[in-house]
Amino acid sequence: MDDLKFVQRCIKGDKGAWDEFLNKYSRLIYSYIFNVINFKGHTLTQANIEDLFQEIIYSLITDNFKKLRSFKGLNGCSLASWLRQLTINFTIDELRKLKTPPLSLEEESEDRFSLKEIIADNAQIQSEQVLDKEKLSSLTDCIKRLDTDDRYFLELNINRSLSLEELKDYFGVSRGAIDMRKSRIIQRLKECFKDKGFIEII
């Protein structure tokens, strides 16, 4: 049975399917919680980790499985890969709350400037420069067209603020491989942006 059909069984209240889900993916979720905690240099108690696990599971089933329903298996994304990204993002968000208050998504965020810097190959950008709505919409669409792994790379590098040096250690590859991957993603975004009629991204 493919992942999407399996998720549909869980959503429809199939207890056997949900038990199978927990048996199959609980260890994976715990594993990535531990990986993020260790990678970010935090020390949490077993009770804290258990709380994180329960919150992730609760986030999947609350509001009639709203979050789990969002899994579509697009672009070859497996349920395991989707849960991995969800767990990493959720855990990083929770660790950040221990150190700094959450940023409002409505603010002119550092993330947006960071994204522009990456696409511009880290060119100097003045603080008053912002993407207009049309360019931002086009850029967002171009990012959506990337494959799952490349979007995940951007998520960690931009939205989760992991440096390229940290990503090197996280993925267990050389810095050269990380730089090459970044350049390839940037080039794809530039080509997509150009196809939309823009000469430059910023």
Across the chain, what does the average pLDDT equal? 75
pLDDT (mean) for 38-43: 73
Q: What percent of the chain has pLDDT over 70?
A: 76
* pLDDT 10s digits, 59-93: 998 888 899 999 988 877 889 889 988 898 888 88
Confidence check: pLDDT of 105 > 70:
no
Q: Report the candidate in 148, 118, 135, 157 with the shortest Cα–Cα distance to residue 202.
A: 135
Confidence check: pLDDT of 166 > 60:
yes
* pLDDT 10s digits, 120-161: 433 333 333 333 556 667 777 788 888 888 888 888 887 777
Higher pLDDT, 109 or 182: 182
What domains does the chain contain, in order, with CATH numbers?
A: 3-97 (1.10.1740.10), 110-195 (1.10.10.10)
pLDDT reported for residue 11: 92
For the entire predicted model, the pTM comes to 0.50
pLDDT reported for residue 111: 36
